[in-house]
Structures are given as C-alpha cells and as structure tokens.
Amino acid sequence: MADSEPGGSGEAARLYQRTLTIAEELLTSDPTNNTYRRDVLVPCDKLGQLALAEGDFDKADRYFRRGLTLAEELVEADPTNRRCRRDISISYDKLGTLALARGEGDEALRLHLLALTIVEELAASEPADTTYLSDVWSCFDRAGRTARANDDVAEADRLFRRALAIAEELVAAVPADLDYRQQLSVSYDRLGDLARRGGDVGEADRLYQRALDVAQALVDAEPGNLAYRRDLSVTCDKLGNLARDRGSHQQAAHYYRRSLTITEELLAAEPGNHAHRRDLLITANAWGNTAVALGDSREAARLYNRALAMAEELAKVEPVDRGHRRDMSVLYIKLGDIAAARGEFVEANRLCQHALAVDMSLVEAEPANSTYRLDLSCTYRKLGDVAHLSGEFDAAAEHYRLTMTIIEELIAADTTGLAYHRDLLVCCDKLGNLARATGDGAEAERHYRRGLQLAEDLILADPSNPQYRRDLGVLYSRLGDVARGLG
C-alpha cells in the first residue's frame, strides 16, 4: 500500500496518514519489532473507517485487510497475546461492516460470526474479565443487525436474544457499570423492533417499555451523559411509532413530545451535532403525522415547519447529501396539503412550487433515480389537485399530463412495477374527474376506461389486493355517472 494514498478527506485523514507513514518507516527499519507492527495496524484501521464513511469501499478494503494481515502476523509471533487476537476479531468486524455496505450480506454475516468465534474464545479464557464478554455482546449485536438487513428474521432473533442474555449476565456481574446497562437497553430495543416488524404489538410494547425503563434509569444516574439521553429519546420514538401503528394517536403524541423535548435539549447542548438535527426532523415529522390523524392541523403545521427548518439547515451544511433536500420536498408537500385543506390555495400552490423546484433539481442531478422521478410526478399531481380546487382547470390538466408522462416513462423502464401502474390509474381518474368538471363527458369516459383497464390488469397480477378491487368498483361508478350525464 502506497503511504501517500489518503484514506479520507480532511485534517483527520492527513494526520492519520502521517502517523501511518512514520509507523511504516519504523517497521521497515526493524521488521521484527511487533510494537512497530501494531503501530501500523492502528492507523490502517482509522484510515479504513474514514474511507468507508466516504463510500470508497475499495480503499477501505485495502486498509482493513492490511490491518487483518498485521494482526495475524502479531498472533503468529505470540499466540498467547489476547490483545492481538482481539485485533483480529475487530478486523473481521470492520470487513463485515464493509461487506454489508457493499450489499454482500451473506459475506458480512460470515465475517461477523468469525469475529464472534474469536471473542467467545477470549471470554472463555478470561471469565473474570468482562471486557471480553462485552465484546461478545457487541459481536452478537452486529451479527443480529446484519441478519436483519439480510431479511433473515429468525437468525436475527436468535442473535439478538443471545446478545440480551449476555447483557443480562454483564449487568448481574457488574451492576454499577452503566455501559452494560446501556447494552441491555439496546438489546430490548432490537428485539422490540423485530416484534413490531412481525406484527406482535404486545411483545414489542413489552420490550420497548423494558428498554425505556433502563434508559430512563441511566439518564437519572448520569444526567450529563448525552448518549444515554439520546437512547431515551430513540426509545420514546419507537413507542410513539408503535402507538401510532395501533391507532392510539394521543399516546403516540405523548411519546413524540417527550422525545422531541429531549432532542431539543441535546441540540442546545451540542449545536454543531447534525445528528441531533436529523433526530429532531424525524420526530417532528412523525408527531406532525399524528397531529394530522388527530385533526389538529395547526399543531401539524407547527411540527412540519420545525422539521422543515432542520431539513433546510442540514441541506446547507451537508449539501452533498441529497436526502436532506428530498426531506424538504416531502415537508413542503405536507404543509401544502394542510393549506389546501384550509382552502388556502395560493399558499398551497406556493409550497408545492417549492417542492417542485427541489424535485426538479434532484432529477437534474440524478436523472436515472426512479425515486426522484416518482417524487416529481407526485408533486405535479399535487399541483394539479390545487389548481383543480382553485378552478384553474387548464393548469390542472397540464400538471396531470406531466404526471402521466413521468409515470409512463417509469413503467417503460420497469414493466413489473405494479405501484407505477396504480399511480397511472390514479392519474387517469383525476383527468377523468377534471374532464367531468369542465363538462367534457367523452373525455372523462376515455380516461375512466383507461383507468378501468389498468385496474383489471392489476387484479390479474395480484388478485388478493383489496385496493385494486376497490379501484375497479370506483371506476365503474364513475363511468355510471358519466352514462347518466352527471357532472
């Protein structure tokens, strides 16, 4: 590896690279010196992490594999050295994280399990040293997250339950260690996520409540620990999401309010921490959705505007991350929906136009991104709805036609995407409604019949989908209205 090759951008990468250069020079001068050998390993690991964070997977792979080779050489020189064996497990873990980032889920799980094997051996050899047992928890947790990412729910459940058992053992062994209690809270959270994913609301609630109790106790024990406070806010969010899933919107609002209060405090304590802004955005948006469900449009608008402010700040400080701009577009549309529902059509149009500008810039930056193009089609459709409600029928027709053009292009690129076909059906329905509003029954019938054919095709493709059958019934009713001459 050329020591002139940077592992990341910025001052940290420059300094780590300088550290690596010095360490490699020392090792070259004394190849048998294992202290120098480990001095090379450490910056390799740090440079690999920087490269991974930048998305330069090949560079990260070179650094991590160099670190693994060095760790293996150290163990070969001294097989009893537990620190060097632990270094091997860390290298496997880093390579596993890299493999998952590359989309190589099976390889990622294999590497994490290799790391687990090593730390389990270390923990067995030193049962009095809970550091190794904590490493075992970390490996089970990482392997579980990888299995979950691979959609292997059964394996994820098995691994997370093993992590929970380890966390309980650690807390029993060292009750005063708050970090072990944090691991316990995390394990409850992970299993709660799986239960919610599997539709077991009662079990998810039980696990999240256990996580909440532990997280609150940690905050009470160490109020100044911002990591503990963030864990508490995340668990509150999860309980809010669970309550929302079962339609308990007041309870969901309670948890979101609690989470948002904590996150606002974290942001005040660390104004330069953009992760807090992201957390605040997510919670304010979720609470806004709940306020909409409760019929409180004023509160929803307040929360969506708070989320929008965070998205705009993030877009300024992290302009390369297009996700922040997409968040802005989504929030403009939600605020536009509220304005339209109030009959404030000028304001609704203004907000949708803001969303349109963002969507168009994203499509221009990444024309092949189907998500951005679908977002653009949805924004045109929203503009069409606002124009229709405002009585601006020509503008509405133009927006709906633009919507239809984009969706037809998406279908041409992916003929199996049933969601696109339903989007086209919705557009046909809107154009039909618009034609009826202008008194053009023949044009309305043409659009409805095209929608009817799409509904029939969707039912053939997925007969069990009740939405498609409902769409079919609605379109028959629309055609019946046209046949009767109803406007």
pLDDT digits 0-9 by tens, 89-140? 999 999 999 999 999 999 999 999 999 999 999 999 999 999 999 999 999 9
Q: Is the pLDDT of residue 455 over 60?
A: yes
Instruction: Identify the pLDDT of residue 3.
Output: 40
In a domain, 464, yes or no: yes
Residue partners of 117: CB distance under 8 A and separation at least 6: none
Instruction: Identify the pLDDT of residue 9.
Output: 59
Question: Helix, strand, or coil here: 364?
Answer: helix
Residue 486: pLDDT band (50, 70, 90) is low
Q: Rounded to whole angstroms, how far apart are CA atoms 469 and 425?
A: 12
Establish how many alpha carbons lie within 13 A of residue 77's alpha carbon, considering only the half-sphere containing its beta carbon.
Answer: 15
Domain that holds residue 483: 431-487
357: nearest Cα among 386, 328, 392: 328
184: nearest Cα among 206, 215, 158: 215
Q: Rounded to whole angstroms, how far apart are CA atoms 482 and 324?
A: 44
Q: Is the pLDDT of residue 1 over 60?
A: no
Angle of helix 249-269 versus helix 226-245 axis, rounded to 10: 160
37: nearest Cα among 76, 93, 89: 76
pLDDT digits 0-9 by tens, 381-402? 999 999 999 999 999 999 999 9
pLDDT digits 0-9 by tens, 142-169? 999 999 999 999 999 999 999 999 999 9
Instruction: Identify the pLDDT of residue 8.
Output: 38
pLDDT digits 0-9 by tens, 281-337? 999 999 999 999 999 999 999 999 999 999 999 999 999 999 999 999 999 999 999
In a domain, 77, yes or no: no
Neighbours of 481 (CB within 10 A): 16
Tokens at residue 161, please?
Answer: 């339950």
pLDDT digits 0-9 by tens, 10-53? 788 999 999 999 999 999 999 999 999 999 999 999 999 999 99
pLDDT digits 0-9 by tens, 162-201? 999 999 999 999 999 999 999 999 999 999 999 999 999 9
In a domain, 19, yes or no: no
pLDDT digits 0-9 by tens, 399-414? 999 999 999 999 999 9
Residue 463: pLDDT band (50, 70, 90) is very high
Q: Rounded to whole angstroms, how far apart are CA atoms 194 and 392?
A: 48
3-state helix, strand, coil in the chain (%, to 5): 85, 0, 15
Could you tell me the end-to-end alpha-carbon distance of the chain, in angstroms, rounded to an integer? Answer: 74
In a domain, 442, yes or no: yes
Contact 31, 76 (CB under 8 A): no
- How far are the Cα atoms of 20, 112, 331, 396 from residue 401, in angstroms, in the given order? 59, 51, 24, 9
Mean pLDDT, rounded, for 259-266: 98
In a domain, 343, yes or no: no
pLDDT digits 0-9 by tens, 270-287? 999 999 999 999 999 999
Q: Is the pLDDT of residue 426 over 80?
A: yes
Mean pLDDT, rounded, for 325-352: 98
Q: Rounded to whole angstroms, how far apart are CA atoms 258 and 262?
A: 7
Q: Rounded to whole angstroms, how far apart are CA atoms 15 and 238?
A: 40
In a domain, 147, yes or no: no
What is the pTM (predicted TM-score) of this model?
0.87
How many domains would you assign to the chain? Answer: 1
Instruction: Identify the pLDDT of residue 487.
Output: 56
In a domain, 453, yes or no: yes
Cα Rg of the chain (Å, integer): 28
In a domain, 72, yes or no: no
pLDDT digits 0-9 by tens, 212-228? 999 999 999 999 999 99
Q: Rounded to whole angstroms, how far apart are CA atoms 284 and 307?
A: 5
